[in-house]
Amino acid sequence: PRVDIAGIDAGRKMVILARNLGINVNLEDVQVESLIPQEIVDKVYANTDRDTITTGVLRDIKVVDALYHQKVLDAKKDDCVLRYKFSIEKSSGKCTCGIVAVPRTDPLFRLKENENLVAFETERYATSPLIVKGAAAGPDLCASGIFADLLRLTRASAANSS
């Protein structure tokens, strides 16, 4: 779970998206806001059993409960909600992700649990971004995406060897 809540997985996804946009970026170039302190990210747990580590991480992250509770309250005061937002600026190559308070006018405001959203702000979609929204991946959708990528690579490899 630490890969997700530390933002490492988010950073990796941003690198993939940015590279698909033609931006030469590495994970080290992405500004990632972790949801947990670095001490928890780096902590070595005595037992390497996955369930034991998960239980330990869930116990340890209670140290940030008050911080995020206050952030939620502050966002509500401004009629906002908190979201973990990615931003890729093609012109500068800047990639960032972190917790932000979004107002009702932001497409992320209406995002439900277990959904992802991508908003494309381009010259064509400058006044109203193109929105792609759907279920978060999960293991089944992720596996089907990897399988589709493998098929695409196999076809490309076969075409190049002919």
Give the catalytic positions in this structure: 13
Structure tokens, 38: 């670095």
The H-or-E segment that residue 135 falls in is strand 130-135
Structure tokens, 70: 């206050």
Among 2, 14, 1, CA closest to 98 = 14
The H-or-E segment that residue 155 falls in is helix 138-161
